[in-house]
Amino acid sequence: MSNVLRLALVDPNDTTRDTLKKILLGMDTVWLEAECSRYEFFADVVTQTHPDIGLVVLDNNPDKALDLVRSLGEICPECSVLVVSSSSDGNLILRAMRAGAKEFLAQPLQIEDLVGALNRISDHRFGRSDSRSRGSQVIAVAGVAGGVGTTSVAVNLGCALARRETNNVTLIDLDLCLGDADVQLDAIPDYTLLDVAQNVTRLDFALLKRSLTKHSSGLYLLPRPVQLEDTSLVSPEDIQRVIGLLKASFTHVIVDLSKAYSPIDMVALEMADQILLVIQLDLPCLRNVVRLMASFKEMDGMADKVKILINRAGLEQGQITLKKAEETIGREIFWQLPNDYRTMVEVRNNGVPLVQQSPKAGITHSIIALADALEGDRVKTDSSTPATAKSGLGRLLSLWPKK
């Protein structure tokens, strides 16, 4: 579980409750676990869902609401209670604090006040350690052309991240038409992205995990819909909710995008913390990455999240040099995965990821090092391992003929 705070809300007023819901659903650090329209039922909701935070709106009946706050402290002391009210009466604030409320927020709710209150609760619950991860990491893996190995990178990166016991990793296959992440993991899923998207408002954490397919590597998979005609039933709003739910449940969410850069893909890119843009050192890829980066620069903060990853580096068929590629793209290459066609064909045909099929292969070491680098760990190089850093593999690339 990541450090996303799970929250349950009670407000008998439909209008203000819907307004609060919209605010909460737009926040990455909060997952709305449950909502309730009756004060007398909320204690049961809390005992069943065990949220980190109970948000109680007082205005409908302050006396009954404060009795609820007091009872929540007795039956569920690990649940921090926030109260919200349009009243600024000092006596009401004092009564709320004496009843056990951790924070008192004014209605209409200001987003900065809510964020401040949530941060204080998060600091108290998870600690202030800078070394501790705050929230989940969403890593979007996108290709600049077909056949560059995007799904292979996404699947094997997910398995490499999942090898750590402290990580809880899931992979979403967003290539709704032709995705094959399930094939690469030799998985036969019971449920797909369509099932989760259509039931996301009714899912809790336990039901969510039962809806995913768990691989023996520890990676959870949410595959594309089975039927081609079902792809139209998945909307960008569904994807936003699904990723939000997964962020509240997993330390890492890997998203394997299609090559269409559809509205669904763009939602995933916007929600991503890091974007791995997979390319090969050829002219069509360089042309496409320049086009994509030009578009990303027009989107607020999008280009800053992009990391360029060269796949199948070291091919001998007249590859463009690393230096020429960086000059063309206008930014440094983040990572290179060496070309190992035989190993990759073997793992794909067997449906077994690199960390299990070929743990000693150079490309496996490179994938694991990539996973460590994305987590911010210090990557240790080994002289017996083929170089993946730019300074090493770049020297192996043949120079592009000069005119």
Q: What is the CATH number of the domain that holds 62?
A: 3.40.50.2300
Average pLDDT value for residue range 20-43: 86
List, for residues 83-102, the tens digit of each pLDDT value.
Answer: 999 998 999 999 999 999 99
pLDDT in the model for residue 200: 75
pLDDT average, residue stretch 330-354: 95
Residues 57 and 158 in one domain: no
Boundary-marking domain end, from 126, 159, 180: 126
pLDDT (0 to 100) of residue 119: 82
Kindly report the number of other CB atoms within 10 A of residue 233's CB atom: 14
CA dihedral (383, 384, 387, 391) in degrees, to 10, reads: 20
Phi, psi (rounded to 5 degrees) for 271: -85, -10
Per-residue pLDDT, averaged over 331-350, amounts to 95
100 in the same domain as 184: no
For residues 319 and 234, membership in a common domain is answered with yes
Q: Is it the case that residue 40 has pLDDT exceeding 80? A: yes
Distance, C-alpha 195 to centroid of its chain:
19
Q: How close are the terminal C-alpha atoms of the chain, in Å?
A: 56
Number of domains, the chain: 2
Whether 201 shows a pLDDT value over 60: the answer reads: yes
Separation of alpha carbons 43 and 67, rounded Å = 11
Q: Are residues 141 and 122 in the same domain?
A: no
Q: How confident is the model at residue 113 (pLDDT cuts 50, 70, 90)?
A: confident
Is 203 within a domain?
A: yes
Confidence at residue 118, expressed as pLDDT on a 0 to 100 scale: 87
pLDDT band at residue 314 under the 50/70/90 scheme = confident
Instruction: Identify whether residues 87 and 150 lie together within a single domain.
Output: no
In a domain, 402, yes or no: no
Give a yes or no: residue 403 inside a domain.
no
Among 126-135, 167-176, 210-219, 394-403, the least confident range: 394-403
Q: Which of 101, 126, 151 is at the close of a domain? A: 126
Same domain? 119 vs 158: no
- Which burial class, exposed, middle or buried, applies to 382 when counting CB atoms under 10 A from its CB (0-12, 13-18, 19+)? exposed
Return the closest-CA partner of residue 320 out of 275, 273, 292, 287.
Answer: 287
User: Which domain, by its residues, includes 106?
Assistant: 5-126
Asked if pLDDT for residue 206 goes beyond 80, the answer is no
Say if 40 falls within a structural domain.
yes
Shared domain check, 165 and 75: no
With 60 as the cut, is the pLDDT of residue 403 above it? no
Task: Find the mean pLDDT for residues 134-150.
Answer: 90
Whether 131 is in a domain gets the answer no
Q: Using the 3D structure, point to which of 104, 126, 148 is the last residue of a domain.
A: 126
On whether residue 391 sits in a domain, the answer given is yes
Based on the fold, state whether residues 265 and 374 are members of the same structural domain: yes
Residues 274 and 164 in one domain: yes
Find the CATH number of the domain harbouring 348. 3.40.50.300
189 and 71 within one domain: no
What tokens does 320 get? 């463009």
Q: 39 CB contacts (<8 Å, ≥6 apart)?
A: 10, 12, 56, 60, 61, 64, 65, 67, 68
- Asked whether residue 171 falls in the same domain as residue 314, the answer is yes
**CA–CA separation, 106 vs 156, rounded Å?**
48
- In this structure, is residue 300 part of a structural domain? yes
Buried b (16+ CB within 10 A) or exposed e, 157-185: bbbbbbbeeebbbbbbbbbbeebbbbebb
Let me know if residue 401 belongs to a domain: no
Same domain, yes or no, for 142 and 113? no
